[in-house]
Amino acid sequence: MQPPSALATAVDFVSSMFGPFDRRLDFQTIQFTAERHPFTAYPLPYSQFRVQICLPASAADEEWKVARHLSHELVHCLSPNGLPSLRATVLEEGLAEHCSIHFMRANYTITGSDFEWADSVQGSHRVAFDLVEQVVEHEDLGGMRAAVRSVRAATGLPFADLSADALAAHFTKTPPHLLDRLSGRFADLN
């Protein structure tokens, strides 16, 4: 599963989980870079909808790494935040990890192992994932995903601009203190 087939598979998976990509999205390319971590780039400073997914060159020869990174980064492309960088919310990063883990569970198995994809998530990304899992405890899995689709459709806003109040209208069973944490900036999560 290498691009573009990995891309098509991941696009379908992400949109089935969290709703369609913004119709204004102008997806440019997948580029392999010298960076250690994948990221979504905005090649034009005046367009939040022109995006480029950048993956570590070290992942280029391993299908499962490309797929894992793509399924994560595509969540950032659903409703792009644009510049400046580092605007992602805790919710956005948690959803990206949630999607990536479920994508890998659905498409990749490690034979003869009790390996769990969620165990590969560490640091702040693990905290964000765990907070989304707390939402699942309140809303249930289908309810959480439906709430994401609903808030995106109702507001048309990028994740970075979704306040706790905007989330509360759709995540009706999730406590306000959890929505406050989820609407916070991921870069500030420690």
Reported as a single tens digit per residue, the pLDDT across 98-149 is 999 999 888 887 665 555 666 677 789 999 999 999 999 999 999 999 999 9
pLDDT value at residue 6: 74
Q: If 0-12 CB within 10 Å is exposed, 13-18 middle and 19+ buried, where does residue 83 land?
A: middle
How many Cβ atoms sit within 10 Å of the Cβ of residue 145? Answer: 20
Tokens matching residue 57: 């060159």
pLDDT value at residue 112: 56
| pLDDT band (50, 70, 90) for residue 29 | confident
| Interval 2-16: pLDDT, tens | 445 778 899 999 999
Q: Average pLDDT over the chain, rounded to whole?
A: 90
Total length of the chain: 190
Name, in order, each residue with C-beta under 8 angstroms of 132's C-beta and a sequence gap of 6 or more.
Answer: 91, 94, 95, 97, 98, 144, 182
Segment 76-105 mean pLDDT: 93
Segment 51-72 mean pLDDT: 92
> How large a percentage of the chain has pLDDT more than 90?
73
